[in-house]
Structure 1
Amino acid sequence: MSDTISGTVLSGVTLSSAQYADPVAIEGIIDVAGGNALVAPLTWTIDVTGTIAASDDGGVLLLAGGQIDNHGLVTAASDAVLSTSGRAFDIQNEASGTLASASGDAVKLSGGVTGSTLLNAGLISAGNAGIGLQIGAAVAINEAGGVIEGGSAGVVLGNVASFDNFGTVGGSTGILVPIGQNYVDIVQGGLVSASSGPAISFTGGAVMTVTDTLTVLPGATFDGAAIGGQVADLVFGGTTEGTFVNPTQEFVQFNTISIAAGATWDLAGISTISSSFRNDGTLLVQAGDAIDFGAAVSGSGVIDLAGGFVDFANTVAAGTTIDFNAPGSFMQFNQSHPFSGTVEGFTPGDTIDITGFGASQQLSGTVAGNVLTLNNGLAPLYVTFATAPGPLAVVAIGGTNPKTFEVVVPCFRHGTRLLTPSGLRPVETLSEGDEVITLRGEVRQIAWRGRRRIDCRRHPVPESVLPVLIEKDAFGVGQPCRDLYLSPDHAIWIDGSLVEIKRLINGLSIRQVTVPTVTYYHVELESHDVVLAEMLPAETYLDCGNRFQFEDGDATISLFPDFGALARDPGRLYAPVVDGGPDLARIRAGLQYRVASRGIRQKAGNFQVVADGKTVAPVWSADRHRIYRLPPAPCDLKLLSTASRPAELDPASEDWRWLGIAICDAVLDGDPVDIAAPFFGRGFHGPEHAGDGWFRWTDGTATMDAAGARELAFTVRAVAPVWDVPAPSCGVSVRHRA
């Protein structure tokens, strides 16, 4: 049995079994000037297709819970729908329904119990000081197309509340969880906007217990920040791929951040994640994107590096997989925190950096099976690969403080010719089964050839992938017989040893060149060997099970092993590797002797002070001391110079930093400048001490913060020498930094 209220009723209605049957349908109009429009003292089911209006008080008051199914209009001066009991309720606001309040809360369900629900597909709206929806101990869902808006807040959630948003929520604050409200779960898949406050705010108190959760789904939009208050966890969920740009600018103060199992998220832009991070799904890091993890990383998911950068400043637990899924991908971790994850897909063009070493520490590596062991003289470090990674290079990066080492993979470049029984043939024309001639004069078959194209412009450390040019006759007449290009970490054979070519760069006869892209070819024989590339002895590929990572075909390429000092299995090498010490210095000295025989000498570098793009001449100069008068207004002040790398000019040096000018005793308007002061801006290397005091080198282009000073003075400790190439030159220009 049911009942219907039709027509127009101008006084408040109180539902009682003596007058109305349950359920009751409101098909007409209840329009009340004073008091509540409709009161249900007992549990009732109310279907609204008409209008309920209260111009001075509340719309529908549930005193014992019940059910409301609204297709019509409920409007009130205060609360449009209010439930104050401890009884369960079930409220549905259909797509055609409106629940609106002029000055109170549109829907206030503070007396609910677990098991109560609200479903909104229509409009829930409150006035300037009101709340759209206030709910506790219940489940509320705002469907796609549903709108919940309030002047002070769109939604306010109390203890044990669950709110799923697939529609639109708006207010001064979008969604608010007040202080002391626990076990609140929010699923956000729609739009949450805030006119002046945060889009979502979990309010922490003096004692912060983490009990709340925000789950973000693909397609979610935030107009405003989401603040966790250190009492909530953030979860990226869903089953389709989601994208969020610069997430840590939007999501702050969350206790933990995670990606749920089965979820895939592209966290684009540049982000620093300071919270503990758990990944049980897939995290995509595309080219140009970077994520710094400041806390521990765990989980059973995959971090998919599609050309992007990740930095782990803390531990990485076992179960985490780092998949190098595109050339140019870059991973960094600190040696003081264990990296226990697994690396997949590591190929030429990819890079692993290990930071946190002391200035005098050295690092060497060996590969056994699928494990790279890194020895630093203290406790060894281990990097586990999903499959045997092949030969790897471990090399110190010059100019880094703390000291950083880099792990890369080595190969050969397109157009490079290998000696075969039929003469020199371009590597791209060779395939499995073709024959090459080795250093010993043996004829051997190619077991496999792989290829990988690299976009050097998008690589985070281009120097690790850009090809190295070896000029014709650099090692003697006919060695090579024409200009030869190798990847930086490919080893050549010289004096019975293998030496990576980047250790022999001198800036002249052997120098790194800039290209937009390069394709590296790997040529493998049945065992590691040395072949003749443009008649220069160079190593072949040493297979460790990673050939599946390359494709076969034609392209622009690099012919030799790739990037960094290789962590090769010594038992399988053709010859021992020389990576430093007197043997390397002797080989480099021989190369420099050949350079000197061409009439090339070293000369002093030069420098200038530039303010707002104009050279500033010193007003006083004596010996190594300079004084400059600066423009009256704050200016863009630079110290520019020629620059060179010590290791390119001195065979015994292992300093690969770009050095310009070293200065000390800086003074601004008569006041000494501390060696660590902000005056020393971008382009200055760290402070160094020798003999009589402290000084700092530039890299050739350094900025100085004069802080409005009118006079600058400093002492020139040294200016790095550069090569003096006589005309006609060999095509090499001295590097100027500007």
Structure 2
Amino acid sequence: MTQLFGTGNSVTSSGTYDLMPIAVLGILGSADATVSSSTGAEVDATINITGLLDLPVTALSTYTITAEKNTSVTVSAGSVAIGTETILNADGGTISLGGGLLNAATGVTINLSNGGTFNGSAVISALSGATINFESGGGVLNLAGSSTGLALLSGASIKNFGTGDSIIIESNGSPATISSVSYNSLLGTTDITFSNNDSVTLTGEYQNTDPTASNYVNAVAESGDTGTVIVCFLSGTMIQTPTGDIAVEALQVGDAINIFDCSVPAGTTRNIVWAGHHKAVVRPHLPDDEAGYPVRIVKDAITDGVPYKDMLITAEHCLFFDGKFVPVRMLVNGRSIFYDKSITSYDYYHIETAQHSVIMADGMLSESYLDTGNRRNFHQAGNVVRIGSSPRNWADDAAAPLAVNRDFVEPLFHRIGERAIASGHAPRSEPPIVETNADLHLVTKTGAVLRTMREANGHAFFMIPPGIEEVRIMSRTGRPSDMVGPYVDDRRHLGVLVRSIKLFEGNIARPVTSHLAPDAPAGWHDGGYMPCKEPCRWTDGQATLPLGHRHPTLMGLLCLEIIAGGPYNVEKDNIPQNDTRLTA
């Protein structure tokens, strides 16, 4: 058994270790250890938290244990005093709790990042009062296998549960069945109650549970890169039924609605098998299509009588044109179809038929709900006909193809826009302020800013001081969907398009190609929107560029070949790119 003292301990080999603090002048002793794999091979370590004979010192100790990628760490407690604080970082690796920690540690903080896993089933009561943080890259909190149930989680604080994160739980040693879910959009919390009256609260942007689930609950934030995709009608939308048009909020499970699929005879009806609703609160700091603003389609926007009144739907909701579905966000022209920014919170509804269907809403052909895995975001009222199902997809289950290609959508966009101008619809907002200057510069690891020395013929030159082996390429960003038009289904934040990079030191010119590698560093986009066929890649406005080993005394000259960039929406420069987005 190896003993580890104090802070700064590094473990790279499998084995058992004792971790103990060092007291200095009888004041606060702490200890930490990081378990990592230098070769990529699995490292399996057991770390025993051990105290000192000086109990007043040990009682104030803080133990920090980190498990990095390709490591599995079991943490247990030996002779430590009440009052010990323990911080467990599952940073790509797996941490499990062993015996003793339950009675030893007063404060336990668990940080899950980069896909790390925490297994707490053996001593789940250690989590009573614990703080559990889902951080960058997320992870898995695995509580399945506990015989004590969820009651002991009542004092735990679970924060920042979001896209890609998982919580696996049982209830009283048997499969956990959810009986109710309550989402508080103001506080950003979700209260989950199980059939045995156990409950747990998650803090985050989403309601992440499936009320129809059985077996273990794998509470995953089902969403795309831009957040939870919500496809619905707002209240007041009139749905065509055999007995006339009925407001969507008044429809119930079992009600019949008219169907307009090309594959079924005229007059076909289908019954509603699921009806859900949810409340949205707009987040105005995000781009309009991701902030949650509803889209207003004015009366007669498409043609006379279509729609027959103003129609309000969510941005991802699809309209039916020429045998295909098109998301309404791709048709926003700012005149007859626009984001209604006077509405900052609202209730929205969906109705589902046994098969995805083309339906009539406000005189406009639209879609019923297609469950692609986000049913958990809604509250169900009334009878339940559909009890669980596998998520569906557009390729196999849609009533018509989803069209997001520019060749199909752009002519449609212009046709509707020309009608809006001819009808006298004025722009609903001022045009955005755009800038062609990328504000291209570099930032070092220490935060130093390096400005361009000169720019010529599509090349930007920077002086790089000795010793700097990594920089970030910083610039403004723009989204093709904003700067070209919403009919371009590319909502990435693009900085500049870089082809070749060279670093000159003395009389040596060295190519830098990491940005073109399949596993490019952070901040480089893959594919799409390439004006040339030669290898090149877009930055996201803050792309990491390793420069390799540098000469210790020579200044370097870095040359970036920039082949495209901009224009940029200056008003949106400060939108944080890592913000979890709600698409509603």
TM-score after normalising by structure 2? 0.51
Contact persistence 1:666–1:713 (CA under 8 A): yes
> What code does the residue aligned with 1:495 have?
D
Using the TM superposition, give the Cα deviation of residue 703 of structure 1 relative to its aligned residue in structure 2, in angstroms: 5.8
Root mean square deviation, CA, Å: 7.0
> Could you tell me which residue of structure 1 aligns to residue 379 of structure 2?
550
Deviation sequence 1:130-161 (CA, Å, 0-9, x none): xxxxxxxxxxxxxxxxxxxx9969xxxxxxxx
Contact persistence 1:417–1:424 (CA under 8 A): yes
Using the TM superposition, give the Cα deviation of residue 593 of structure 1 relative to its aligned residue in structure 2, in angstroms: 3.9
Give the unaligned 5+ runs of structure 2: 1-20, 32-45, 66-71, 191-198, 261-265, 383-390, 548-553, 575-584
Distance in 1 (alpha carbons) for counterparts of 2:121 and 2:499: 49
> Could you tell me which residue of structure 2 aligns to residue 270 of structure 1?
134
Higher fraction of strand? 1
Using the TM superposition, give the Cα deviation of residue 498 of structure 1 relative to its aligned residue in structure 2, in angstroms: 4.3
> Could you tell me which residue of structure 1 aligns to residue 413 of structure 2?
591
1:662 aligns with 2:502: no
Q: 372, 381, 400: which is aligned to 1:577?
A: 400
Q: 314, 320, 334: which is aligned to 1:487?
A: 314
> What code does the residue aligned with 2:514 have?
A
Distance in 1 (alpha carbons) for counterparts of 2:96 and 2:355: 56
Matches within 5 A, 1:170-189: 172=29
Q: 684, 705, 718: which is aligned to 2:564?
A: 718
Distance in 2 (alpha carbons) for counterparts of 1:301 and 1:461: 41
> Could you tell me which residue of structure 2 aligns to residue 538 of structure 1?
366
> What code does the residue aligned with 1:718 have?
A
Q: 696, 703, 723: which is aligned to 2:537?
A: 696
Matches within 5 A, 1:388-427: 397=225, 410-418=231-239, 427=248
Using the TM superposition, give the Cα deviation of residue 737 of structure 1 relative to its aligned residue in structure 2, in angstroms: 2.6
Identity fraction in percent: 17
Q: Which has the higher contact order (CA 8 A, sep 6+)?
A: 2
In structure 2, the residue corresponding to 1:269 is in which secondary structure?
strand
Higher fraction of helix? 2
In structure 1, the residue corresponding to 2:514 is in which secondary structure?
coil
Higher mean C-alpha displacement, 455-464 vs 473-482: 455-464
In structure 2, the residue corresponding to 1:609 is in which secondary structure?
coil
Distance in 1 (alpha carbons) for counterparts of 2:285 and 2:217: 19
In structure 2, the residue corresponding to 1:590 is in which secondary structure?
helix
Contact persistence 1:665–1:672 (CA under 8 A): no
> What code does the residue aligned with 2:573 have?
R
> Could you tell me which residue of structure 1 aligns to residue 4 of structure 2?
none
Distance change (3 Å), C-alpha of 1:548 and 1:512: closer
In structure 1, the residue corresponding to 2:494 is in which secondary structure?
coil
Contact persistence 1:492–1:539 (CA under 8 A): yes
Distance in 2 (alpha carbons) for counterparts of 1:462 and 1:288: 24
Contact persistence 2:275–2:350 (CA under 8 A): yes
Using the TM superposition, give the Cα deviation of residue 664 of structure 1 relative to its aligned residue in structure 2, in angstroms: 2.5
Distance in 1 (alpha carbons) for counterparts of 2:158 and 2:354: 36
Distance in 2 (alpha carbons) for counterparts of 1:617 and 1:152: 51
> Could you tell me which residue of structure 2 aligns to residue 161 of structure 1?
none
Contact persistence 1:523–1:540 (CA under 8 A): yes
Using the TM superposition, give the Cα deviation of residue 537 of structure 1 relative to its aligned residue in structure 2, in angstroms: 1.9
Using the TM superposition, give the Cα deviation of residue 662 of structure 1 relative to its aligned residue in structure 2, in angstroms: 0.9
Using the TM superposition, give the Cα deviation of residue 245 of structure 1 relative to its aligned residue in structure 2, in angstroms: 4.0
Q: 643, 647, 670: which is aligned to 2:479?
A: 643
Distance in 1 (alpha carbons) for counterparts of 2:22 and 2:404: 73
Distance in 2 (alpha carbons) for counterparts of 1:330 and 1:235: 31
Distance change (3 Å), C-alpha of 1:151 and 1:706: closer
Contact persistence 2:462–2:557 (CA under 8 A): yes
In structure 1, the residue corresponding to 2:456 is in which secondary structure?
strand
Distance change (3 Å), C-alpha of 1:477 and 1:524: same
> Could you tell me which residue of structure 1 aligns to residue 436 of structure 2?
606
Matches within 5 A, 1:103-118: none
Distance in 2 (alpha carbons) for counterparts of 1:568 and 1:692: 31
Using the TM superposition, give the Cα deviation of residue 185 of structure 1 relative to its aligned residue in structure 2, in angstroms: 11
> What code does the residue aligned with 2:438 have?
Q
Using the TM superposition, give the Cα deviation of residue 529 of structure 1 relative to its aligned residue in structure 2, in angstroms: 5.3
Distance in 2 (alpha carbons) for counterparts of 1:647 and 1:538: 28
Using the TM superposition, give the Cα deviation of residue 496 of structure 1 relative to its aligned residue in structure 2, in angstroms: 3.9
Contact persistence 1:198–1:225 (CA under 8 A): yes
Distance in 1 (alpha carbons) for counterparts of 2:560 and 2:168: 45
> What code does the residue aligned with 1:579 have?
L
Using the TM superposition, give the Cα deviation of residue 578 of structure 1 relative to its aligned residue in structure 2, in angstroms: 0.6
Using the TM superposition, give the Cα deviation of residue 521 of structure 1 relative to its aligned residue in structure 2, in angstroms: 1.5
> What code does the residue aligned with 1:608 have?
A
> Could you tell me which residue of structure 2 aligns to residue 451 of structure 1?
277
Deviation sequence 1:119-138 (CA, Å, 0-9, x none): xxxxxxxxxxxxxxxxxxxx
Using the TM superposition, give the Cα deviation of residue 717 of structure 1 relative to its aligned residue in structure 2, in angstroms: 1.3
Q: 545, 551, 567: which is aligned to 2:393?
A: 567
Using the TM superposition, give the Cα deviation of residue 414 of structure 1 relative to its aligned residue in structure 2, in angstroms: 3.7
Contact persistence 2:453–2:463 (CA under 8 A): yes
Contact persistence 1:409–1:489 (CA under 8 A): yes
> What code does the residue aligned with 1:469 have?
V
1:258 aligns with 2:121: yes
> What code does the residue aligned with 2:479 have?
A
In structure 2, the residue corresponding to 1:608 is in which secondary structure?
coil
Using the TM superposition, give the Cα deviation of residue 278 of structure 1 relative to its aligned residue in structure 2, in angstroms: 4.9
Distance change (3 Å), C-alpha of 1:352 and 1:443: closer
Distance in 2 (alpha carbons) for counterparts of 1:342 and 1:607: 53
Contact persistence 2:394–2:401 (CA under 8 A): no
In structure 2, the residue corresponding to 1:521 is in which secondary structure?
strand
Distance change (3 Å), C-alpha of 1:681 and 1:257: same
TM-score after normalising by structure 1? 0.42
Contact persistence 2:112–2:118 (CA under 8 A): no
In structure 1, the residue corresponding to 2:476 is in which secondary structure?
strand
Deviation sequence 1:174-204 (CA, Å, 0-9, x none): 9xxxxxxx99999xxxx99648965599xxx
Distance change (3 Å), C-alpha of 1:437 and 1:667: same
Contact persistence 2:89–2:111 (CA under 8 A): no
Distance change (3 Å), C-alpha of 1:488 and 1:301: farther
Using the TM superposition, give the Cα deviation of residue 674 of structure 1 relative to its aligned residue in structure 2, in angstroms: 1.8
Using the TM superposition, give the Cα deviation of residue 718 of structure 1 relative to its aligned residue in structure 2, in angstroms: 2.0
Deviation sequence 1:310-341 (CA, Å, 0-9, x none): xxxxxxxxxxx99999971459xxxxxxxx97
Using the TM superposition, give the Cα deviation of residue 257 of structure 1 relative to its aligned residue in structure 2, in angstroms: 4.0
Distance in 2 (alpha carbons) for counterparts of 1:480 and 1:621: 53
Deviation sequence 1:429-472 (CA, Å, 0-9, x none): 66789998776789999887542224565999997783552543
Distance in 2 (alpha carbons) for counterparts of 1:658 and 1:300: 46
Distance in 1 (alpha carbons) for counterparts of 2:59 and 2:125: 34
Higher mean C-alpha displacement, 588-597 vs 417-426: 417-426
